[in-house]
Structure 1
């Protein structure tokens, strides 16, 4: 046997999980500073990607309901849909910020602090959820269901929080666009 057939098949997933977990936030941070010259601002995107976050949060809840009912097929469909929606969201989010100036929050007083607390927690947890989603997904596709279930109990509430607070942040800043 060659070395590839003897290698742990999960090792490649672990490597890709690490690469993506580091690369995605780094690339997004870099692209956040890039402005496409003379590009038409994509001002129509924020309500679309806020809607994507809302749909993602609903599908996450439906996925949990279905797995608790024993419907693995629908659970899988909903979870894969959430991953696809998250990728679409990320593409739109980056595209918007590459074509548009940042929108400062215009609220004053306590609401300003509430907004920034939600925003910062959303950003930090959106970075944290990347490896959690990837690890959870890999454990499912490799048939490691006890380990999948264990990490999913951590991943789900964080991912749900990120999806819901994405909508909340949009609703709070939308009057200032």
Structure 2
């Protein structure tokens, strides 16, 4: 059986690769569309409410997972966190698929509400990039049973991930009237 340090070392390179590759792939895919690839695909307009709901579910899972671990329910916490990670992966796949099939919607408001939207959107995007390595590192610390380090980084990861999940729903609610 591998020791804790070996487990962490084994995953460190993968964490670095994914932390760079995922944001770069998402950014690159924004320039790729199914139509440009010669595929006649109708916009996947059904996806945004689904992936917004998944963001909401992720937020709920995160809160319940924290409550579970505070109540000593480690296995429940572990299962909830794995589900939250799964939800985040599902969100990402649907988000990319939607944006490859449809034109990006423009926010139609002006003035103060526009600046509120842009603040939420920009912080959401920046933190959604930052959360990738944080989630992966936090998960690997638990996998390696380095619970002291897991707990320390989870105190940083949790509020950022929760913010990203909640603001994902808010961004959807604010932009949804402007979808084509």
- TM-score by length of structure 1 reads 0.95
Match of 2:165 among 144, 160, 163: 163
CA distance in 1 between counterparts of 2:31 and 2:114 reads 24
Which residues of 2 match residues 16-165 of structure 1 at below 5 A? 16-37=14-35, 38-165=40-167
Alpha-carbon separation, structure 2, partners of 1:108 and 1:10: 48
Shift of 1:8: 3.2
Q: How many residues align?
A: 173
Distance 2:25 2:90 in 1: 15
Report the alpha carbon displacement of residue 121 of structure 1 after superposing the two structures with TM.
Answer: 0.1
Structure 1: runs of 5 or more not aligned: none
Question: Whole-Å Cα distance in 1 between the matches of residues 68 and 153 of structure 2?
Answer: 17
Post-superposition Cα deviations, 1:60-109, rounded to whole Å, max 9, x if no partner, equal: 00000000000001101110000000000000000000000010000111
CA distance in 2, matches of 1:89, 1:32: 15
Corresponding position of 1:174: 176
Q: Distance in 1 between matches of 2:47 and 2:114?
A: 24
How far apart are the structure 1 equivalents of 2:153 and 2:136? 10
Q: Distance in 2 between matches of 1:169 and 1:152?
A: 25
Kindly report the root-mean-square deviation, in angstroms, between the aligned alpha carbons of the 2 structures: 1.4
Q: Where do 4+ consecutive residues of structure 1 move more than 2 Å?
A: 7-10
Shift in Å at residue 10 of structure 1? 2.2
Change (3 A) 1:9 1:61: closer
